[in-house]
Structure 1
Amino acid sequence: MPPLPGSPGELRRLTEISTILLRYGFGDFLRYAGIDRVVEKAGEVLHRQDSGRLGELPAPERMRRALEEMGPTFIKLGQILSTRVDLLAPEYIRELEKLRDHVPTLPFDELVVEVEAELGRPLKEVFERVDIVPLAAGSIAQTHRARLSSGEEVVIKIRRPGIRGVIDADLRLLTRIARFAARRFEDVARFQPEAIIREFANSIHSELDFAIEGRNAETIAKAFENDPAISTPRVYWDWSSEMMNVQAFIDGVPGSDREAVDAGGFDKRRIARRGADAVLKMMFEDRFFHADPHPGNVFYLPGDKLVFIDFGMVGQLSRQRRDEMVDLLHGMVERRADKVTEILLAWADADERQNLALEGRIDAFIDRVHGVALERLDISALTRDLFAAMRDHNLTLPSDLTLMAKAFASLDGMGRQLDPEFDMVAVAQPFLQRQMLQRYSPDRLARKARDGAAEGIELVTGLPRDLRKLLHMAQRGRLTLGIDVQRLEQHVDRFDRAVTRVSMAIVIAALIIGSSLVMSVSGTRLPVGLSVFAMLGFAASVVGGFWLVYSTWRSGGRR
C-alpha cells in the first residue's frame, strides 16, 4: 500500500481524482494500484457512483474525458502521453491528441492580479488598449489582443493566477503514485513511470515559464532569418516575463480554419511543401524543432508564407541522436534489419537477448515497405507499425525521440490536410541524403580526426600525471581496490548458513551416537552424573534435529 499523502490537501486531491476515475469506469485501476484503500484508510470511503452511459464509451475516450475533468495538470499529462507512441496503442494516441485545454475564461481583473503585482502598475498604463474579451483560454493561460503605446498590435499571453501551486501539488502526488506503482508491479516498472513523470514535470514547468517560450521562438526565428517564407512572431521583451509573454499580432489565416484557407487563394501544395521543409530543417540541420506543428499552430500570409506560433513544446536533438536517426532510416533503405535492431535496442537500453526476435520483426517490416512506391507510402502508418513492434518487445524510447515522432505525425497530418497527395517520404529524402553526405565530407572527417588526435594527445600527456597521483595514493595507504560482484553477499550468506547446518548435523549425530552408546551399556552400574549426561545429550540431539528440519524448511520457503 502506498504511503498516505503528505498533507490534508493532497489527500483531498487524491479523493477527488479517485472519484473521477470511478465515475469513468476505472475502479479496477484504483483497486489494482491500491489507491482506493489509501483513501478509505484516511476516512474518505469511496462509493461507486452511477456513471450513466459513461461506462459504455470506448476506453480511450473515457480516459481522455477523465483527464480533462481532472484539470490542467492531467490535461498536460495526456498531451505528453499522446507523444509516447512507443507506450500506447494508436487508438489511445488518436484520442489523447484531441486534448485541448480549453476552459472557461477568467475575468480580466482576476487574471492580471499576479502580473500587475510583478510590474508594479496596472496593465492599462503599459498598453494603450487591451481587449478584455480573450482570443483563447487555456488551463494555463489566457491570450488577449492589445496595442502598445507605440502603436504596434500585439497578443499578450497571461498565466492564470495560482496555477503553479496547483500543478506542483499534483506533480508531487503523481510522483508518489508512480514510485509506488513501479515498486509494486513489474509490468508497470518496465514503462519507467517515474521517468515519465520527471519528463512531464520538466515539460510543464517549461510551459509555465513564458520567458522560455519567448527564447524558443527567437531561436527558431534566427534559424530562418534568411528565409522570407518562414517566420515567427516578434517577442517584446520589455514587457515579457515568466508570467506574461507579449508577441506581435499575426494578421493572417489560421491553418485550422479550412474554409478561410480555401477562400484565401493559397497554393496549398506549396504551403505543405514549405511547412515540411521548415520542420525537417529544424530537425536534421538545426536540431531544435517545433514539437507540435499542427494546423492550429500555423498562420498563412499572402504569398504562401507561414508563421509558426506557440513554442511551449519544443524538441532538441544531440548530434549523436540525429546521426542515429539518419542511420536508422538509412538502414531501412538498405534493408539492414540488424543495424536497425541494434539502434532500437541501444535507444531503449535493452537486453541484447531480445535481438533475434526483434530483428525478425524488423526484417518483416522492411520487406513490407520495400517495393511500395513513394507516393503510396503512409509515413504515419509506418511509424505506428514500427512502434507497435517496440511495444510488443517492451522497448521504450528516449523523450527527445518521442517528441520527434510526434512532430513527424503532426507534420504528415497537416501536409495531407493541405494536399491529399502529399508525400512525406519524398520530402524527407533530400534531407537524409544531405546528412549522409555531410557525415563523410572532408571537413567532417578532418574534424573527427582532429578531435580523435586531440583526445589521444591528452591521454598520453596526462598519463604521467595520473600515474603520479596513483603512486601518491598508494604511498599514503589510500589506494583501495573495490570488487563489485553482483549478489556476492547473498551467496556468502547462503554458504554460511549451509556450513552451519552441516556442522550442527555432525554435532547432533555425535550426540546421538555417544548418548546411545553410554545408555546401552548393560550390566554396568553407571555413575549418576554420567547417566544424566547421556539423557541430556540425547534430549539435545532431539531438539537440535527439530531445529535443523525447521531451519531447512524455512530456508527453502524463502527461496
Structure 2
Amino acid sequence: MKSITRLLRLWTIQRVFIRHGLDELVLSIPLFRPVAFIYHLLPWNWKRKNQDLGPRGERIRLSLEALGPIFIKFGQMLSTRRDLMPDDIASELTRLQDRVPPFSSIEARQLIEKAYGRPVTEVFQRFETDPLASASIAQVHAAQLWDGKEVVVKVLRPGIEKIIRQDIEVMYLLAELVQRYWKDARRLRPVEIVAEYEKTIFDELDLMREAANASQVRRNFESNPVLYVPEVYWNYTHTNVMVMERIYGIPVGDIQRLKDLGINFKRLGELGVEVFFTQVFRHNFFHADMHPGNIFVDATHPHEPQYMAVDFGIVGTLTPEDKRYLAENFYAFFNRDYKRVAELHVESGWVPANTRVDEFESAIRSVCEPIFNLPIKDISFGNFLLRLFQTARRFNMEVQPQLVLLQKTLLNIEGLGRQLYPDLDLWSTAKPFIERWMDEQVGVRALLNGVKVNLPKLLENLPYMPNLLHDVLKQSAQHQMKLQWESKQLETLQKKLQSTQLKTQFIIAGGSLLVGGALFNTSSYINQDSGLFLTTGSLALIGLGLILYGLLKR
C-alpha cells in the first residue's frame, strides 16, 4: 500500500511539472522519463505545447504551490539565494514567503471554534475574515481580545498532516534511489537527512511546541534589544491554533520602504550577523526558518533599528561537541588557520581518520582564500559551494544531518544580508563575536563562569559531603578486599593451570615415546635385531611411566 501511495505521488509531481510547461525539468530526471513519455502520448496533451503558459518563474512558483508545503518551503529557501538562480525566478519565488493561496476563512473559523469549544465571537471582540498572511503550513488572521489587546491568530491548514506524510514518503523513495544509484550518495547520507527533516516538519505541526519555542527565544533576548519576539497568550493556544501579540514592523524584504524611512542598512546587516551568532553560540537555540516572510524591522529608531521575528515552528540546537567544533572551525577560519580547520574536521569525525591533514589543509586554503575580506556582493557563493562540494567529495567528507538546520539558516541569513547591505564585510563583523565566545569558553573567564554555574549545586550538596566521603571510602575498602580475594583466586587458578600444563606435557611426551617405541618394536621384530628390540622396548616402558606419572600427579 505504501509503495502504491509513493508511485501515485510521483505521478502527481511529474504531472504538475509537465502541466506547467516544465518538461525539461521532468525529462532530466531518469526516474520520470518513462512516465513523461506516456503522458505526452495522451491526446488531451497534444495541444498543450502551443499554449502560452506564462513566464518560467511564475510556472515554477505555481508548480511548487500545487505540490504543497514541502515544495513551497524549498522554494522559500531558494528565494533568498539570488546568486544561485536568475532574478526572474528568485523574484517570483519570494511570493511563496507569505502569499501562498489561503484556505477558506469559513474553514478557519470552524477550526478555531472546534479548538475553543465555543463561537469565535465569544473568544474575540473582533476577528478579521481575510487573512493577514498565508504560508505553507498555516495562515494568520488579525483579531482583538475582549481586554482590547491586538493579536494575531495562527491556524493550521486543514488536512495538512496527511499531505506532508505523503510527501515525506516520496522523499524517502527518492533518497533511497539516490543512495542506491549515485556513487556520492553514501557521503551525502540522503536518507538520514530526510529523517531529520521529517522530525522537524512534524514538530512544526504542533502549535503548542511553536508557542513554547517563541517564549524561549523571547526570554533569551529580554535584555538584548537587537531582536523582539511577540508575546504568546497561552490561554488561547492549542495544538492547531495559536494566539500571539500583534506586531507592526516592516517586512525585511520591503527594501524600498526601509530606504524611504532612512534605515541604517549597514547597522541592520551587522545586527543580523549578531542575532545569528548569539542564537547559535550563546543560547544554543536558534530560529531555523529565517526567510524574509518571518522577519520584520522596527523602524522607530532608523539609525539603531531592531529586528522582529515570528514563526518559531522550526528551531535548532547543537550538541556541546558540535557547537565547540563549529565555533573552533569559525575561529580558525577567520584567522586563516587552515591547518587547524583540517585537524578539527578529522578530530570531529567529519572526514575519515586516515585523511592527510596537509593535503586537506591545502584543499581548504584553495577554496577559502579567494573570498576572504570580500563583501557579500563580490562573493559568488554558487561557485564557492561548488568548489566546496568537490573538495568534500575528494576527501570523503560526510554530510552531518544534525547540522542541516544550521546550514539552512546560514543560507537564509546570507541571502538576507545580500539584499539588505551587499557591502557588508561578513568576516570583520563575525570575527569579534567568535573571539569573544572562545575567550568565554577557555582560560580564566571560562573557569570563573564554570564556578559561577556550579557553585549553587556544590553548596547544596556540601552538608552531605561527609557522608558521601564515608560511603566512598567504605566502598573503596570493600572493593580492595574484593580485589585481594579475586587476586588470591587468580593465583590459585594460575597454579592449577601450570600444574595441568605440566601434567599434559608428561602425558604428551610419554605418549610420543610409547607410540615411537611400539613402531620401532614392530620394525625390530621384522628385522630380528634383538639389541634394537630391547632399546625400543625400554622407550615404550619409559613412555608408559611418564603417562602414569602425569595422570597421578597432583
Fold shared, TM-score > 0.5 on shorter chain: yes
In structure 2, the partner of 1:73 is 70
Letter of the structure 2 residue corresponding to residue 364 of structure 1: S
* 1:220 CA displacement: 1.1
SS at match of 2:153: strand
In structure 2, the partner of 1:305 is 306
Letter of the structure 1 residue corresponding to residue 164 of structure 2: I
**How big is each residue's C-alpha offset from its partner over 1:184-215, in whole Å with a ceiling of 9 and x where there is no partner?**
44344443221121122122112222222211
- 2:334–2:427 Cα contact (<8 Å) kept: no
**In structure 1, what is the Cα distance between the partners aligned to 2:155 and 2:216?**
22
**1:283 and 1:380, CA in 2 relative to 1: closer, same or farther beyond 3 A?**
farther
- Match for 2:159 among 156, 162, 167? 162
**In structure 2, what is the Cα distance between the partners aligned to 1:68 and 1:177?**
20
Letter of the structure 1 residue corresponding to residue 197 of structure 2: F
What does 1:229-308 align with in structure 2 at a 5 Å threshold? 229-296=226-293, 297-303=295-301, 304-308=305-309
**In structure 2, what is the Cα distance between the partners aligned to 1:97 and 1:399?**
26
Letter of the structure 2 residue corresponding to residue 389 of structure 1: R
**In structure 1, what is the Cα distance between the partners aligned to 2:278 and 2:109?**
38
Does residue 190 of structure 2 align to residue 198 of structure 1? Answer: no
What does 1:181-196 align with in structure 2 at a 5 Å threshold? 181-196=178-193
- 1:171–1:201 Cα contact (<8 Å) kept: yes
Letter of the structure 2 residue corresponding to residue 244 of structure 1: V
**In structure 2, what is the Cα distance between the partners aligned to 1:109 and 1:56?**
32
**1:61 and 1:197, CA in 2 relative to 1: closer, same or farther beyond 3 A?**
farther
| TM-score, normalization by structure 2 | 0.68
**1:364 and 1:187, CA in 2 relative to 1: closer, same or farther beyond 3 A?**
closer
* 1:305 CA displacement: 3.1
**1:182 and 1:413, CA in 2 relative to 1: closer, same or farther beyond 3 A?**
closer
Letter of the structure 1 residue corresponding to residue 245 of structure 2: A
**1:165 and 1:406, CA in 2 relative to 1: closer, same or farther beyond 3 A?**
closer
**In structure 2, what is the Cα distance between the partners aligned to 1:462 and 1:320?**
37
**1:426 and 1:438, CA in 2 relative to 1: closer, same or farther beyond 3 A?**
same
Letter of the structure 1 residue corresponding to residue 425 of structure 2: D
In structure 2, the partner of 1:520 is none
* 1:141 CA displacement: 1.2
SS at match of 1:397: coil
Does residue 15 of structure 2 align to residue 19 of structure 1? Answer: yes
Does residue 314 of structure 2 align to residue 317 of structure 1? Answer: no
- Match for 1:359 among 343, 358, 361? 361
**1:167 and 1:366, CA in 2 relative to 1: closer, same or farther beyond 3 A?**
closer
Letter of the structure 2 residue corresponding to residue 19 of structure 1: R
What does 1:128-527 align with in structure 2 at a 5 Å threshold? 128-296=125-293, 297-303=295-301, 304-344=305-345, 349-352=350-353, 355=356, 357-369=359-371, 374=373, 376-378=374-376, 381=379, 387-392=385-390, 393-394=392-393, 395-442=397-444, 444-445=446-447
**How big is each residue's C-alpha offset from its partner over 1:171-194, in whole Å with a ceiling of 9 and x where there is no partner?**
223323422442344344443221
**In structure 1, what is the Cα distance between the partners aligned to 2:192 and 2:224?**
38
Letter of the structure 1 residue corresponding to residue 389 of structure 2: R
Does residue 102 of structure 2 align to residue 105 of structure 1? Answer: yes
* 1:142 CA displacement: 1.3
**1:241 and 1:299, CA in 2 relative to 1: closer, same or farther beyond 3 A?**
farther
Letter of the structure 1 residue corresponding to residue 15 of structure 2: T
Letter of the structure 2 residue corresponding to residue 211 of structure 1: M
**In structure 2, what is the Cα distance between the partners aligned to 1:253 and 1:14?**
39
* 1:308 CA displacement: 1.7
* 1:77 CA displacement: 4.7
**1:366 and 1:145, CA in 2 relative to 1: closer, same or farther beyond 3 A?**
closer
**In structure 1, what is the Cα distance between the partners aligned to 2:328 and 2:315?**
23
* 1:81 CA displacement: 8.1
**How big is each residue's C-alpha offset from its partner over 1:333-384, in whole Å with a ceiling of 9 and x where there is no partner?**
44432321233456674335554654322122354356xxx4x343993765
**In structure 2, what is the Cα distance between the partners aligned to 1:57 and 1:182?**
36
Structure 1 residues not aligned, in runs of 5+: 476-559
Letter of the structure 2 residue corresponding to residue 269 of structure 1: K
Letter of the structure 1 residue corresponding to residue 337 of structure 2: R
Letter of the structure 2 residue corresponding to residue 331 of structure 1: A
**In structure 2, what is the Cα distance between the partners aligned to 1:435 and 1:404?**
18
- 1:315–1:400 Cα contact (<8 Å) kept: no
**In structure 2, what is the Cα distance between the partners aligned to 1:368 and 1:277?**
24
* 1:131 CA displacement: 0.5
- Please give the root-mean-square deviation of Cα atoms over the aligned residues, in Å: 4.3
**In structure 2, what is the Cα distance between the partners aligned to 1:198 and 1:81?**
21
SS at match of 2:234: coil
In structure 1, the partner of 2:533 is none
SS at match of 2:307: strand
* 1:411 CA displacement: 3.1
Letter of the structure 2 residue corresponding to residue 325 of structure 1: L
* 1:235 CA displacement: 0.6
**In structure 1, what is the Cα distance between the partners aligned to 2:401 and 2:378?**
19
**How big is each residue's C-alpha offset from its partner over 1:496-545, in whole Å with a ceiling of 9 and x where there is no partner?**
xxxxxxxxxxxxxxxxxxxxxxxxxxxxxxxxxxxxxxxxxxxxxxxxxx
SS at match of 1:155: strand
- 2:367–2:387 Cα contact (<8 Å) kept: no
* 1:307 CA displacement: 1.7
224-233 vs 328-337, greater mean Cα deviation = 328-337
**In structure 2, what is the Cα distance between the partners aligned to 1:46 and 1:118?**
44
User: Percent same amino acid at aligned positions?
Assistant: 27
* 1:71 CA displacement: 1.9
* 1:277 CA displacement: 2.2
Letter of the structure 2 residue corresponding to residue 20 of structure 1: V
**How big is each residue's C-alpha offset from its partner over 1:190-247, in whole Å with a ceiling of 9 and x where there is no partner?**
4322112112212211222222221121111111111245311111111112211111
**1:56 and 1:381, CA in 2 relative to 1: closer, same or farther beyond 3 A?**
farther
**In structure 1, what is the Cα distance between the partners aligned to 2:417 and 2:282?**
20
- 2:249–2:299 Cα contact (<8 Å) kept: yes
